[in-house]
Structure 1
Amino acid sequence: MVKRKKVLAVLTALVACTSFSVFAAAPYTDLGGLKSRVAIDYLYDNNCLSFAPGTTFSPQQVLTRGDLAQLIYGTALNLPTAPLNFTDAPSPKANDAMAAVASHGILEGYADGSFKPDQPVTREEFAAVLYQYLKYCGLTDVSRTVAPYADQASIDAADLEAVQYLHNKNLMLSADNLFRPKDGITRAEAAETMYHVSHSDGDYVSHVDVERQVIRALNAEYGSMPAYFQQGTLYWDGNKLVLGMKTGPHMFLNQRLKRDVSRYDVLEIRPARFARSDYDQLMMRAINCIVSEEGVQNYIGAMPDYKAEQIDVIVRRPLAASTLQKLEERVGKGIVRIRDLQTIAAAKPAVQAGDATDEDLTDTQTNTDRDGANVYSPLYDTATNKAVDSVIQDTIK
């Protein structure tokens, strides 16, 4: 799966569905002429509705915390799992979803080890959770502002920023300019909103949707993603989904992408020095070299940077000159980029998350996200940056 730095790009108003909006009909018998039927069919077709098995969807039923966790987990495509076990998880599959969203700060559990999956979710709570998910994915700037909801004063202060953002992005629609923050959000309303987030049509580009379609095309052309990753990489560079190729693409790949990807215009095929499998090998060489030369205590973590064609490595203290020399011999000159905690901890925050690119961060810079947490590399997700921050705090003490 692709390690995403950004999953969402241009979020604009939903327009008429294109010819790609033909999905397998969900088996639910209680949808009737529901306005959000297309959204439900789309989410069902993409395995996002695991919380509603069987033949009934109960569209007017209020969404619960457990439902929401599974909805986000299904939509996210590759949200990493986590070794958390909630005492009140209804099933192992539901626990996987709850653990994933909780570990990444999207929808957290409670101090007593419970998740309260049956607790209903209000509209403002749903907005706050969706906003956290969008922040995890990587937000773009708000491109427009709209008049506030008429009942904005009744929105909880902690949720106001989230509600305003979704309103400005036209993700939670309102015909009468009322948000009704304390009302429970129904399954149908939640499905409609997640459809806006995860489906591309018109000028709206969903990174999740494009990525899913490209992966299907690559699977069909190469037989499997592991087979493709022997020859290339797949990553987002801003609003472009890049297929980095060591050799030229298969003869009919471009034709298949044009046919199968609704937003072919956001794809770019670039020549690449390494394939995904090469990065895996180079990363292991770098890790083994550092551990063998300086001990496992000095190694923190590593991540491939497909755009820069480097391996990004974080260590506790600066590496010895002899270790750096051996890294060049075993991995290659200029391939490993080292960040050490002593330098990072001494650096002052430089820029705000969302404003930084890979080029903006030097080895001695850090930044912060909207919650005030340090961001040590734009390559790392929230959980990874928090882990690095925890190690730094231990080092400082």
Structure 2
Amino acid sequence: MLPEHTLASTSLGGQVLGSGRVKADISLEEEADLFEIVVTAENGTKRTYKILLERDEAALPPSESECSKPSAFTDIAGHWGETSIIKASCRGIVQGYSDSSFGPDRRVSRAEFTVMLAGLFQWEGAETALLFGDMAGKNHWAKQAIAQAAAFGIVSGYPDGNFRPEATITRAEMAVMIAKALKLPTDTDLPTAFADHADISAWARGAVASIHQLGIIIGRSDNRFVPGGAATRAEAAVMLLRIAEIKKK
């Protein structure tokens, strides 16, 4: 606190704030801002103090640290997943299309969900050449994310050796990818607690049980998992945000 001398003054960024006790509201325009405070004593002596203020994202409430700007997507206003889509977009987990739409009710393709996972987990290195028959030698837009996911053992192709990037991802496939990315148990003997447990393929049951226990994925009507069903882009955004919260802990 500065001494209370009536002839003393203080200025911030060249703007005189007044004398005596000084209070000012400061807005951070960037991630870090350097401020100069000049204190002029009664005898005219000046001293300059430099203060570096940095924004601590972790200390801010989620609504401020994740995103406080209006959505740039043109088709999510009023949608049940609007808030989650905005948060996921601000975190770099999901992206929209070139026409500024998000397509919240569109089905998620295998390539799209792989890219979403890559945006969440920020994979680095471990990239390998794509050996999938339908992607080898092609410059697919999701090539890097798919290559990294394959190198980490998170995705695999079909028995015919293809990846089918544009095919709609099933809820069972999504569950397995999530479980592998989080290094969760995928033992086939884990109970899933879903009414349609018998419809879940053995290769997916452990993964479904693991992510269900964490609340990442929930059932649909009548407590059914619907393993062969598709997920929408809005549903995927919600699930990925749940994963992000788990990763924080």
Q: 2:118 matched to which residue of 1?
A: 73
Question: 1:83-232 maps to which residues of 2 (within 5 A)?
Answer: 83-85=128-130, 87-88=134-135, 91=139, 93-109=141-157, 114-135=162-183, 139=184, 148-174=193-219, 176=221, 177-199=223-245, 205-207=246-248
Conservation of the 8 A alpha-carbon contact between 2:157 and 2:163: yes
Q: Which amino acid aligns with 2:152?
A: H
Q: Which amino acid aligns with 2:149?
A: V
Matched, 1:57 2:102: yes
Question: What percent of counterpart residues are identical?
Answer: 25
Change beyond 3 A, Cα 1:134–1:163: same
| Structure 1: gaps spanning 5 or more residues | 1-15, 200-204, 208-238, 240-397
Cα displacement (A) at 1:24: 3.9
Cα displacement (A) at 1:121: 0.9
Q: 2:17 matched to which residue of 1?
A: none
Which structure's residues are more often helix, by fraction? 1
Cα displacement (A) at 1:93: 4.5
Distance 2:154 2:115 in 1: 12
Change beyond 3 A, Cα 1:110–1:25: farther
Distance 2:81 2:176 in 1: 22
Question: 1:356-371 maps to which residues of 2 (within 5 A)?
Answer: none
Which is worse superposed, 153-162 or 39-48?
39-48
Distance 2:66 2:96 in 1: 23
Q: Which amino acid aligns with 1:134?
A: L
Cα displacement (A) at 1:32: 2.6
Query: Secondary structure of the equivalent of 1:206?
Result: helix
Distance 1:147 1:158 in 2: 13
Q: Which amino acid aligns with 1:193?
A: M
Cα displacement (A) at 1:47: 2.2
Cα displacement (A) at 1:20: 4.0
Change beyond 3 A, Cα 1:184–1:175: closer
Q: Which residue, 17, 36, 43 being the options, matches 2:88?
A: 43
| Structure 2: gaps spanning 5 or more residues | 1-60
Cα displacement (A) at 1:111: 7.2
Which deviations, in whole Å up to 9, do the C-alpha atoms of 1:316-373 show, x marking residues without a partner? Answer: xxxxxxxxxxxxxxxxxxxxxxxxxxxxxxxxxxxxxxxxxxxxxxxxxxxxxxxxxx
Change beyond 3 A, Cα 1:152–1:114: closer
Conservation of the 8 A alpha-carbon contact between 1:23 and 1:45: no
Q: Which amino acid aligns with 1:152?
A: H
Cα displacement (A) at 1:206: 2.5
Cα displacement (A) at 1:155: 1.2
Distance 1:174 1:56 in 2: 28
Distance 1:95 1:147 in 2: 33
Which deviations, in whole Å up to 9, do the C-alpha atoms of 1:162-183 show, x marking residues without a partner? Answer: 1111111111134642212121
Distance 1:30 1:64 in 2: 19
Distance 1:25 1:101 in 2: 32
Cα displacement (A) at 1:59: 1.4
Question: 1:306-385 maps to which residues of 2 (within 5 A)?
Answer: none
Q: 2:67 matched to which residue of 1?
A: 22
Change beyond 3 A, Cα 1:76–1:54: farther
For the pair shown, the structure with the greater C-alpha radius of gyration is 2
Distance 1:37 1:102 in 2: 31
Conservation of the 8 A alpha-carbon contact between 1:50 and 1:70: no
Distance 1:166 1:20 in 2: 26
Cα displacement (A) at 1:53: 4.1
Matched, 1:32 2:77: yes
Which deviations, in whole Å up to 9, do the C-alpha atoms of 1:83-115 show, x marking residues without a partner? Answer: 314553774551101100011110123577642
Cα displacement (A) at 1:127: 0.7
TM value normalised by structure 2: 0.62
